[in-house]
Amino acid sequence: MVVNVSVETLSWADVRGIARALHKAHPMVDQSLLTPEDVRRMVVELPGFSDLPQPENENMLDTVVYAWLRIEKEEWENELVEDNA
């Protein structure tokens, strides 16, 4: 049986989509230990990433990491709410 899994097409402009994909692909990564090159490589290796291998500016990599951290924080907060319900 063949299962079709849709893969979201990602580009540097989709910071939140990239952050969600990184969170799913690398849930145990400590972002504070990543170099900008690590982040760039991880983004380019994501399924569905179809943009240039380099962002237009280095700040984009920081923005991606910040969004990734926010997604982790939101997920953690949601788990706390569910545990306390």
What is d(CA 36, CA 22) in angstroms, rounded to the nearest whole number? Answer: 14
CATH number at residue 40: 1.10.10.600
Q: Determine the length of the chain.
A: 85
Asked whether residue 59 is assigned to any structural domain, the reply reads yes
Query: What tokens appear for 14 in the block?
Result: 């989709």
pLDDT tens digit sequence for 54-69: 999 989 999 999 999 9
Provide the residue range defining the domain that includes 45.
15-84
Model pTM greater than 0.75? yes
Confidence of residue 85 (pLDDT cuts 50, 70, 90): low
Is residue 5 domain-resident? no
